[in-house]
Amino acid sequence: MLIVMQAHATEEQVRDVCERVEAMGLKAHPIPGSTRTAIGITGNTGAIDLGILESLPGVIECIPVSKPYKLVSRDVKEDDTVIRIPLPGPEGSGQEVLIGGTHVAVIGGPCAIESREQAFAIAERVAAAGVRLFRGGAYKPRTSPYSFQGLGEPGLEILAEVRERFGLGIVTEAVDHESLDLVEQYADVIQIGARNMQNFSLLRRAGRARKPILLKRGMSATLDEFLMAAEYILAEGNYNVILCERGVRTFSDFTRNTLDLSVVPAVKRRSHLPIIVDPSHGTGRRHKVLPLARAGVAVGADGLLVEVHHQPDRALSDGMQSILPDEFEQLMREVQQIAAVLGRNVN
Amino acid sequence: MLIVMQAHATEEQVRDVCERVEAMGLKAHPIPGSTRTAIGITGNTGAIDLGILESLPGVIECIPVSKPYKLVSRDVKEDDTVIRIPLPGPEGSGQEVLIGGTHVAVIGGPCAIESREQAFAIAERVAAAGVRLFRGGAYKPRTSPYSFQGLGEPGLEILAEVRERFGLGIVTEAVDHESLDLVEQYADVIQIGARNMQNFSLLRRAGRARKPILLKRGMSATLDEFLMAAEYILAEGNYNVILCERGVRTFSDFTRNTLDLSVVPAVKRRSHLPIIVDPSHGTGRRHKVLPLARAGVAVGADGLLVEVHHQPDRALSDGMQSILPDEFEQLMREVQQIAAVLGRNVN
Amino acid sequence: MLIVMQAHATEEQVRDVCERVEAMGLKAHPIPGSTRTAIGITGNTGAIDLGILESLPGVIECIPVSKPYKLVSRDVKEDDTVIRIPLPGPEGSGQEVLIGGTHVAVIGGPCAIESREQAFAIAERVAAAGVRLFRGGAYKPRTSPYSFQGLGEPGLEILAEVRERFGLGIVTEAVDHESLDLVEQYADVIQIGARNMQNFSLLRRAGRARKPILLKRGMSATLDEFLMAAEYILAEGNYNVILCERGVRTFSDFTRNTLDLSVVPAVKRRSHLPIIVDPSHGTGRRHKVLPLARAGVAVGADGLLVEVHHQPDRALSDGMQSILPDEFEQLMREVQQIAAVLGRNVN
Amino acid sequence: MLIVMQAHATEEQVRDVCERVEAMGLKAHPIPGSTRTAIGITGNTGAIDLGILESLPGVIECIPVSKPYKLVSRDVKEDDTVIRIPLPGPEGSGQEVLIGGTHVAVIGGPCAIESREQAFAIAERVAAAGVRLFRGGAYKPRTSPYSFQGLGEPGLEILAEVRERFGLGIVTEAVDHESLDLVEQYADVIQIGARNMQNFSLLRRAGRARKPILLKRGMSATLDEFLMAAEYILAEGNYNVILCERGVRTFSDFTRNTLDLSVVPAVKRRSHLPIIVDPSHGTGRRHKVLPLARAGVAVGADGLLVEVHHQPDRALSDGMQSILPDEFEQLMREVQQIAAVLGRNVN
């Protein structure tokens, strides 16, 4: 923490601030400048909220210096975390998908599971395109209470069949404690959606789950908030967290969200966790998915989460941003070539 | 819904779109313009996602026209809803606080309940200032898992004592199903925080509660999303919802959040529900609370939610934005005078 | 400037950074912490861009501490600046409008001057409502090259007639050097619009003008940028600058801009310059002008800039946000009463 | 334009709106819906501001439908515009750089021209990396009046020497009429910066220049505003406009700006003009430039604008975001490979 004093702060005011800091059991380091004094504070373990010092006479501003996250930080673990997702198959086959390090993974499938036929038709196409992780929602958080909310557990049962039949790992969302209990039984990766990024009660439960967590960035989450949400999960003991950028909310009016690709190198600088990109929600329009998917891999993301639908004009949700299986095959070809430019492989 | 065709769209493309619309059981109304054709669509009850039409050949854009909310809308109920909060007291005393219509209510108290002593000291001062609703969190959603998370049920028990002793109605936050079950027993108004504004599972539970709900706007919620979150609660049968503006997230760097006071007249135009303003979270700085509290009442809000602490430099959370009891008394005096200018009374 | 080192930065890296800082002629103050070291830097007069230090090995972040503005700062001048605008009248009448300190001024008039008849009709009404400053654009910056761009010098001549006839001071916008030369001759206050807030060439010219400048905040200007824009004007010798908040751009979709009223107490804390509020552009909708005008005075602004039109449905620009003369009279009555609550007078 | 009526609007109110529309010389098309009526309006050529209709009794909202731009639109010209920039060389050598269509161009060089030595050192390296367009500012718009503002005409003379010596085309910024007159003489491409994107007086002057214009997107410009700014230039007769995305302002705090790559496919859908990406200003941090440059080409941009400095820690401006010549060579190699994946060539 750094405290900046007003230019006309008196020596006594500076002394008062220092005494107050020392009374909190911390250490104050005054740094006299040409126009004003700043006071560095050390020894704070994070338990004390120093913001209050901003109200003391003569103080202009308190600037936090230490980052609040610990377990997610590269300070704690320098090497990239690689998440391993075992695939269904005969006991001991040892098939797995890797996310992180030099490994890029693509997850494809519909927004929502609508029926067995729909799920199978799409799973067949994404598997044929070389993908080994299948997405599809059984629980859908919807802005309107009157919109389709997902099939619930019957949707999870369809996903279990897809898993069995096509050998695909399953990624699906949990929206509360109850659904998480079920999703944990059926899925290979548990997704926490953007609207729940700061549902701390749900994050703690995810931290006690025995499956990797795919954590989506909230619509207006800062980088620190995003990493702190992951910290909640790690703090409970689950170290297998995959971050996901899915677009943030800005003034921009020609797109559903603004995909913030610069968060990828920013996360990589601060954290060892892998981060993937969702160009479907990130743009909200079918014609932007392929360009932004390419950009996501080019910027260095560890994977993609892509909505695919064989009949998008009949989709019960998000048809507008789902691409067709043929477009998805093109996407796979192009991102494989771009990953190779970066010395990475798509698996 | 309005569909806008490209300037060089062919007649056949226009016809195709119309046929697709009619096949969905809706009615298409082509409006030929000088440079392009638009197609109005009627008959949609909200169940069909028309966005997909944007992908058809020749279409530029789909513009939604109908508002998705129903029960919260002034279309359904023209008069202002007035929420009545019965106060503790001898059976049949009939004391109550009103929020909405010409009635403005101020809710004061600490960010978090820290101890019986702290709660009583502050309650005494806010009651003396003329306030009849007391706020204080027993469950605190915190960005960091390592920060103080609230006292939990013992905090609720302290609030019950405050209620008994000072005759104040209690407003306190629930963060998940479990805490909502408890809060419902102890509080007079159940608060749902900004981070949970789209925790739809929690909203549905709040819709089944027998107490009024104070619903805070999410950090980047549009007006439609805010009203739709309230719609979730009303749709479950609880019509007693108080909206609360608490600042939104923007590029602005000199304030914790940007208090969006223009949402007040905007809500009043669309909905019958009351809306109050939280100048404490809305600014995050003590010296801005009084000015923005005045502005909140001046813009026409139905109340204020204000953080007060007798020792803000020792507060376990949000000390930086809590005002002192003396400042709170000044606030009460000034907002009473401003309310009078608008022909309203503070109760 | 404060430099934050990585937790695992070596002692050598810390020493390197210090040496580099000293080589720049500045002084480095290392502050060892429990998990990481920070380095305070003093002696920088603003000429050196220290951001580059962020690229040195072991450095995480550079945090600027000193504020870059000087002449606009309260550090330089503690008392509020009061701008005096002499009104037309017989030589020596000494009539003037004051903005700042305890003085609140309302400026009313149409968005654009459209004709002599229109200007006179509106001027008569705003004068009758007690206003002594008249606004009206002769040069209009418009998003589209095909929209009405203002009457130019003939518009200024109409303003001169209004000035003469009704004894009103004139506030009107200059959009480039050429128009500023003319506006300076005709107007009492020269307005620089939001889109030109960082047109530094125009700001310098305004700094050499002999009339007060009304400087509008840019659509996404931070507080520092806003004050630095004013600094450009003061640095050329013109100390008569009135700041104006007119709404910023956010994700919000129900309003043309988001009026950021918290900037008013923020400016007052940092600068001695007066700041007024424009609720017309700040909201873009007629039904929000009156509520936000009240809020602007309640928050402590030194004045209002309000668009008034006697026939808004025939206005050539911004009819949607102009209020009628009757509404304007109500506005004047209400803001006078609210100003009185704050111990201020509207002049 | 579409007018949406309130659910409880009377038939008379609908009729009144229609009559008002017809009185303006336009045609009204009422579309009765199940809960409310909408009214389509045709025949407007853009001269009439229909927003005012929103104030009529019974009207909820006016939704603009027609796009306001004309010359920049794909409606007017379906094929991609390819800008041709002739390079210096012996008369008739016919060397040129192409931007648009299948052609991707990289522009490299320092933020500001600081000296002949600096310019030559960097020019030599970027030319060696295969680049044929050199950037470097002689006029620098700076937030602070006390920062380095560029060398002015002596800077242009240095650029002319670079042009001559290395055969590089020159891209440099004009900040007002005066500097544009000079830049037009020296440069091959005239840059208009983000802060001047709505300096309409300067845009008109650029529209009369005989050189191509590189127009940067404003910090909070919507897509329509960006294209309308280009429209100002085309409307004066200069059809050679290159758009440039350079990051927008959002709440995001870990980056100088948020690079909005989704604007690239959005522009391509609406306009025939080429668009390039500036990853240097778009991120503000050296370690993000290479990843975002790759992403820019992957998303389909027609070029890159990259700041390169041989001694970034001694740069007089923007050292923090300039990359080293070695990094620039790596950038060129990688973007060439990515362009090839899209079937495009870097020239």
Window from A147-161, B1-15, C237-251, D317-331 with minimum mean pLDDT = B1-15
Residues of A in contact with B202 (CB under 8 A): 176
3-state secondary structure of B2: strand
Give CA–CA dist A282/B221, Å, rounded. 17
Probe site for chain B from A1, A71, A143 (most B CB atoms < 10 A): A143
> CB distance D66–B2 less than 8 Å?
no
Average pLDDT rounded to a whole number, residues D325-347: 97
Average pLDDT rounded to a whole number, residues D119-131: 97
pLDDT at B43: 72
> CB distance B252–C260 less than 8 Å?
yes
- What percent of chain B is modeled with pLDDT above 70? 95
More confident residue, D74 or A248: A248
pLDDT, tens digit, 9 for 90 and up, residues D224-249: 999 999 999 999 999 999 999 999 99
Average pLDDT rounded to a whole number, residues C233-239: 96
pLDDT, tens digit, 9 for 90 and up, residues D290-307: 999 999 999 999 999 999
pLDDT, tens digit, 9 for 90 and up, residues C3-25: 888 877 888 999 988 888 888 88
Longest dimension (CA), chain C: 76
pLDDT higher than threshold 90 for residue B159: yes
Q: Answer whether D335's CB lies under 8 Å from D132's CB.
A: no
Distance from CA of B317 to the nearest CA of D (A): 23
C-alpha B119: how far from its chain's center?
25
The residue type found at C143 is T
Q: Kindly give the pairing relationship between strand D133-135 and strand D169-173.
A: parallel
pLDDT higher than threshold 70 for residue A66: no
Contacts of A340 (CB under 8 A, 6+ apart): none
Window from A290-294, B92-96, C247-251 with minimum mean pLDDT = B92-96
Average pLDDT rounded to a whole number, residues B68-90: 90
pLDDT at B50: 67
3-state secondary structure of B275: strand
Average pLDDT rounded to a whole number, residues A170-185: 97
Counting one residue from chain A and one from chain C, the pairs whose CB atoms sit within 8 A come to: 69
Distance from CA of D106 to the nearest CA of B (A): 30
Nearest CA in chain C to B335: C341
pLDDT at B144: 87
Of the partner residues D56, D143, D228, the one whose CB lies closest to the CB of residue C144: D228
Tokens of A180: 């998480």
pLDDT higher than threshold 80 for residue A90: no
Q: Which residue carries 């995050």 as its tokens?
A: B284
pLDDT higher than threshold 60 for residue A221: yes
Residues of B in contact with A54 (CB under 8 A): 285, 320
Residues of A in contact with D252 (CB under 8 A): 222-223, 248, 260, 262-263
Residues of D in contact with C24 (CB under 8 A): none
pLDDT, tens digit, 9 for 90 and up, residues D44-56: 655 566 667 777 8
Tokens of C99: 């903005």
Q: What share of chain D is helix, strand, coil (3-state, %, to 5)?
A: 35, 20, 40
Residues of D in contact with A298 (CB under 8 A): 291, 294-295, 297-298, 338
pLDDT at D318: 73
Give the helix ranges, DSSP H, for chain C: 11-23, 116-128, 153-166, 177-186, 200-207, 223-235, 263-270, 279-283, 286-299, 325-341
Tally the C-alpha atoms within 13 A of residue A40's C-alpha that lie toward its C-beta.
27
pLDDT higher than threshold 90 for residue A132: yes
pLDDT at A209: 98
> CB distance B287–C300 less than 8 Å?
no
Average pLDDT rounded to a whole number, residues A173-201: 97
Reported confidence tier of residue C84, pLDDT bands at 50, 70, 90 = very high
Of the partner residues B35, B66, B249, the one whose CB lies closest to the CB of residue D66: B35
Give CA–CA dist D146/C68, Å, rounded. 9
Tokens of D258: 């948020």
| Dihedral of alpha carbons A43, A48, A50, A53, sign | negative
Reported confidence tier of residue B136, pLDDT bands at 50, 70, 90 = very high
Residues of C in contact with B254 (CB under 8 A): 222-223, 262-263, 266
Tokens of B21: 């619309």
pLDDT at A146: 86
End-to-end CA distance of chain D: 44
CA dist list (Å): D255 to A2, A243, C256? 21, 18, 27
Counting one residue from chain B and one from chain C, the pairs whose CB atoms sit within 8 A come to: 130
Residue D319 carries which DSSP code?
A: G
Probe site for chain C from B63, B69, B217, B262 (most C CB atoms < 10 A): B262
The residue type found at C253 is D
**What subunits make at least 3 CB pairs under 8 angstroms with D?**
A, B, C
Q: Answer whether D10's CB lies under 8 Å from D59's CB.
A: no
Q: Is D53 exposed, middle or buried (0-12, 13-18, 19+ CB in 10 A)?
A: buried
Q: Order of strands across the sheet with B37-42?
A: B27-32, B37-42, B2-5, B59-63
> CB distance D299–A295 less than 8 Å?
yes
Of the partner residues A223, A250, A261, the one whose CB lies closest to the CB of residue D292: A261
Average pLDDT rounded to a whole number, residues D10-23: 88
Give CA–CA dist B88/B134, Å, rounded. 12
pLDDT at D34: 64
pLDDT higher than threshold 70 for residue B64: no
pLDDT higher than threshold 60 for residue C88: yes
Reported confidence tier of residue D92, pLDDT bands at 50, 70, 90 = low
Distance from CA of A8 to the nearest CA of C (A): 7
C-alpha A80: how far from its chain's center?
16
> CB distance D146–C68 less than 8 Å?
yes
Nearest CA in chain B to C258: B260
Give CA–CA dist A345/A99, Å, rounded. 10
Query: Average pLDDT of chain C?
Result: 91
pLDDT at A283: 86
3-state secondary structure of C316: coil
3-state secondary structure of D94: coil
Contacts of B25 (CB under 8 A, 6+ apart): B43
Q: Which residue carries 């007040």 as its tokens?
A: B264
> CB distance A283–D263 less than 8 Å?
no
- Interface residues of C toward B, Cβ cutoff 8 Å, are 220, 222-224, 248, 250-255, 258-266, 269, 282-283, 287-288, 291-292, 294-300, 334, 337-338, 341-342
Probe site for chain D from C288, C313, C322 (most D CB atoms < 10 A): C313
Residues of D in contact with C220 (CB under 8 A): 219-220, 249
Tokens of A255: 């797109």
Residues of B in contact with C68 (CB under 8 A): none
pLDDT higher than threshold 60 for residue A46: no
Residues of C in contact with A251 (CB under 8 A): 220, 249-251
Nearest CA in chain D to C178: D201
Q: Is B20 exposed, middle or buried (0-12, 13-18, 19+ CB in 10 A)?
A: middle
Q: Answer whether D86's CB lies under 8 Å from D285's CB.
A: no
| Dihedral of alpha carbons B243, B245, B250, B256, sign | negative
Residues of C in contact with D49 (CB under 8 A): 147, 315-320
Q: Kindly give the pairing relationship between strand C345-346 and strand D275-277.
A: unpaired
Q: Answer whether D276's CB lies under 8 Å from D105's CB.
A: yes
Give CA–CA dist C78/C80, Å, rounded. 7
Residue A190 pairs in a beta bridge with: A172, A213
Residues written for chain C? 347
> CB distance D312–C52 less than 8 Å?
yes
> CB distance B52–A320 less than 8 Å?
yes
Window from A177-186, B272-281, C44-53 with minimum mean pLDDT = C44-53
Q: Answer whether D276's CB lies under 8 Å from D347's CB.
A: no
Probe site for chain D from C320, C322, C327 (most D CB atoms < 10 A): C320
Nearest alpha-carbon partner for B212 in B100, B95, B347, B79: B100
What secondary structure, in 3-state letters, does chain A show? CEEEECCCCCHHHHHHHHHHHHHCCCEEEEEECCCCEEEEEECCCCCCCHHHHHHCCCEEEEECCCCCCCCCECCCCCCCCCEEEECCCCCCCCCEEEEECCEEEEEEECCECCCHHHHHHHHHHHHHCCCCEEECECCCCCCCCCCCCCCCHHHHHHHHHHHHHHCCEEEEECCCHHHHHHHHHHCCEEEECHHHCCCHHHHHHHHCCCCCEEEECCCCCCHHHHHHHHHHHHHCCCCCEEEEECCECCCCCCCCCECCCCHHHHHHHHECCCEEECHHHHHCCHHHHHHHHHHHHHHCCCEEEEEECCCHHHCCCCHHHCECHHHHHHHHHHHHHHHHHCCCEEC
Q: What angle do CA B238, B243, B245 make, to 5 degrees?
A: 160
Beta strand spans in chain B (E): 2-5, 27-32, 37-42, 59-63, 83-86, 96-99, 103-109, 133-135, 169-173, 189-192, 213-216, 241-245, 275-277, 303-307, 345-346
Tokens of B8: 């060089």
pLDDT higher than threshold 60 for residue A85: yes
Window from B146-150, C52-56, C85-89, D115-119 with minimum mean pLDDT = C52-56
Average pLDDT rounded to a whole number, residues A79-86: 96
Give CA–CA dist C297/B46, Å, rounded. 42
Give CA–CA dist C139/C155, Å, rounded. 8
Distance from CA of A159 to the nearest CA of D (A): 32
Of the partner residues B253, B269, B294, the one whose CB lies closest to the CB of residue C299: B294
More confident residue, A68 or C282: C282
- State phi, psi for B75 to the nearest 5 degrees: -60, -30
pLDDT, tens digit, 9 for 90 and up, residues C266-322: 999 999 999 999 999 988 888 899 999 999 999 999 999 999 999 887 777 777 788
Q: Answer whether A35's CB lies under 8 Å from C42's CB.
A: no
Average pLDDT rounded to a whole number, residues B185-214: 97
pLDDT higher than threshold 80 for residue C66: no
> CB distance C219–D224 less than 8 Å?
no
3-state secondary structure of B65: coil
pLDDT at B92: 65
Q: Kindly give the pairing relationship between strand C37-42 and strand C2-5.
A: antiparallel
Q: Answer whether B219's CB lies under 8 Å from C217's CB.
A: no
Residue C191 pairs in a beta bridge with: C173, C214
Of the partner residues B53, B235, B312, the one whose CB lies closest to the CB of residue A55: B312
Q: Which residue carries 């503000």 as its tokens?
A: D284
Average pLDDT rounded to a whole number, residues B78-90: 92
Reported confidence tier of residue D20, pLDDT bands at 50, 70, 90 = confident
> CB distance C264–B222 less than 8 Å?
no
Window from B226-240, C248-262, D23-37 with minimum mean pLDDT = D23-37
Tally the C-alpha atoms within 13 A of residue B208's C-alpha that lie toward its C-beta.
8
